[in-house]
């Protein structure tokens, strides 16, 4: 059970790290369009020559 004294604080640190990462991602605008990427990935020659 003693491990919990380490793991619980660690989980808190991880959550705050997740929050920080999420804010970074949100700032970069990757949540602005939730539909487009799913469509684009289906195209064969994405912006390639030809």
Partner 1 sequence: MSALPREIRAHDGCFHCGLPVPANSHWAVEIDGLSRSMCCPGCEAVAQAIVQNGMTDYYRNRTDFAVTAEQGAALPAQLRLYDQAASNDASRNPDGMLEATLSVDGLRCAACVWLIERRLGQLPGVMAANMNVATGRLFVRWDPAQCKLSGILGAMREIGYPAYPFDPARHEAQLRRSGRTLGRQLFIAGLSMMQVMMYAVPAYLATDGTLESDMAALMQWASLLLTLPAVVYSAQPFFRGAWAALRQRALTMDVPVALGIGAAFIASVAATMRGSGEVYYDSVTMFIFLLLCSRLLELTARRRAAHALERLQHGLPDAAQKLPAYPASRDTVTVAAADLEPGDVILVRPGEPVAADAVLLEGQTSIDVSLLTGESAPQRKLAGDAIPGGAVNAGQAALLQVSRRAGASTLASLVRMAESAGQGKPALSQWADRVAAWFVAGLLLLAGAVFLFWQWHDAARAWPVAIAVLVVSCPCALSLATPSALAAATDSLLRRGVLILRPHVLETLHRATHVVFDKTGTLTMGKPVLRDVCLYGDVERETCLHIAAALEACSAHPLAQALAAAASGKRPNASELMQFPGQGIAGSVDGIPYRLGRADFVAQLSGRFLAPAGMPGVSAVWLGREGRLLARFDLADGLRDDAHDVVERFRKAGKQVMLLSGDQQAMAQEVAQKLGIADALGNQLPEQKLAYVQRLQHEGAVVAMVGDGINDCAVLGAADVSFAMGSGAALAQSHADAVLLTGRLEALADAAESASAAMAVVRQNLAWAMVYNMIAIPAAAAGLISPWMSGIGMSVSSMLVIANALRLRGGRKGS
Contact (CB, 8 A) for 22 and 14: no
Instruction: Select the residue interacting with partner 1 from 18, 21, 24, 30 (CB under 8 A).
Output: 18
Contact (CB, 8 A) for 27 and 33: no
- Residue recorded with tokens 């660690």: 10
Residues 6+ apart with CB under 8 A from 40: 46
Site for partner 1 in 27-46 (CB under 8 A): 31-36, 39-40, 42-46
Instruction: Select the residue interacting with partner 1 from 3, 17, 21, 23 (CB under 8 A).
Output: 23
Which residues are near partner 1 by CB under 8 A? 1, 4-5, 8-9, 11-12, 15, 18-19, 22-23, 26, 31-36, 39-40, 42-47, 50
């Amino acid at each position: 059970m003693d491990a919990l004294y380490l793991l619980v604080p660690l989980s808190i640190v991880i959550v705050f790290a997740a929050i920080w990462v999420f804010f970074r991602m949100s700032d970069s605008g990757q949540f602005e369009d939730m539909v487009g990427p799913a469509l684009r990935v289906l195209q064969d020659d994405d912006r390639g020559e030809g």
